[in-house]
Structure 1
Amino acid sequence: MKIDQQYLKDLLIAFEDTVGPDTTLNDLSKSGFPNDDANFIFHMRLLHDNGLIMRVDGKPGIGHEMFQNLGEEVGYYWLDIPLRLTARGHDFIADLRQQDVWQTIKTNFKDEGISTLMGLSKSLALGFAKKKVKDLTGLDID
């Protein structure tokens, strides 16, 4: 399966837009992300693998569990446990929410992996911020 950058961004925004500090599967489902969708499962795993989301209770995993009865195919189910964006997740979505950063990534880096996207978004956000400071104040900060 391939990373869908728009889906990834929208999923992060759904985490950020929840009312409280925690996000549940029910919250995400109401935001248009059903938990039985393969795209959802794939992108949730990516977010977890990269330290962008975690369980509120600090235990490992995100509540996506596997089971297999003897002689049957592997199946999966979700534990409905509260999840949260990590500080790293908040930083990443803040960078992606910047229009200049998002446009640059969408246009020039559409096939990159998530760790590259994270590094690029941070570098682009910093570069655009430095340019803005220079435009506003005339100061060159490096």
Structure 2
Amino acid sequence: MKINQQYLKDLLIAFEDAPNPDTDITELKERGFDYMDPEFMFHMRLLEDQYLIQRTDGQPGFGFYESLGGPGSYAVMPLRLTAQGHDFIADLRQQEVWSTVKENFKEASMSSLVDIAKQLAQGFAKQKIKQLTGFDPD
């Protein structure tokens, strides 16, 4: 399965838009992300791998339990965006960053996406600082 950048961004926004500091798979389902969908599982694993989300108790996983010979099952666990997760979605919410990622980095790996978004956001911020103040931060 390949990374669906729009799905990934929308999933992070669903975490960020939660009314409380944490959310769970049932709340995410209400926002259109069905935890029984393989795409959900795939992207949640990527987010966890990159430490962008985690359980609020600090334990590994996001509530999915493998089953021998069966489809597995979920436990509803409180989940949150980590500081890195908030930074990543903040970067992706910047129109210049998102446009550049979508147009030029369609096949990027997950770790590359995080790094690229951060570098682009910093680059655009430096350009804005120079434009507003005349000061070149480089």
TM-score range, shorter chain: over 0.9
Instruction: Find the counterpart in structure 2 of residue 21 from structure 1.
Output: 21
Question: Rg: which structure is higher?
Answer: 1
Instruction: Find the counterpart in structure 1 of residue 50 from structure 2.
Output: 50
Determine whether 1:126 maps to 2:133. no
Shift of 1:59: 1.2
Which ranges in structure 1 are unaligned for 5 or more consecutive residues? none
Residue type of the alignment partner of 2:4 = D
* Deviates most, 53-62 or 89-98: 53-62
Equivalent of 2:133, from 130, 137, 142? Answer: 137
Q: Root-mean-square deviation (CA), in Å?
A: 0.7
Instruction: Find the counterpart in structure 2 of residue 2 from structure 1.
Output: 2
1:103-133 CA-to-partner distances (Å, cap 9, x unmatched) read 0000011110110000000000000000001
TM-score, normalised relative to structure 1: 0.95
- Counterparts of 1:24 and 1:92 in 2: how far apart (Å)? 20
Equivalent of 2:96, from 96, 100, 116? Answer: 100
- Counterparts of 1:91 and 1:132 in 2: how far apart (Å)? 19
- Equivalent pairs, count: 138
TM-score, normalised relative to structure 2: 0.98
Runs (4 or more) in structure 1 with deviation over 2 Å come to none
Determine whether 1:80 maps to 2:76. yes
1:69-123 CA-to-partner distances (Å, cap 9, x unmatched) read xxxx232111101000000000000000000000000001111011000000000
Shift of 1:67: 1.3
Instruction: Find the counterpart in structure 1 of residue 66 from structure 2.
Output: 66
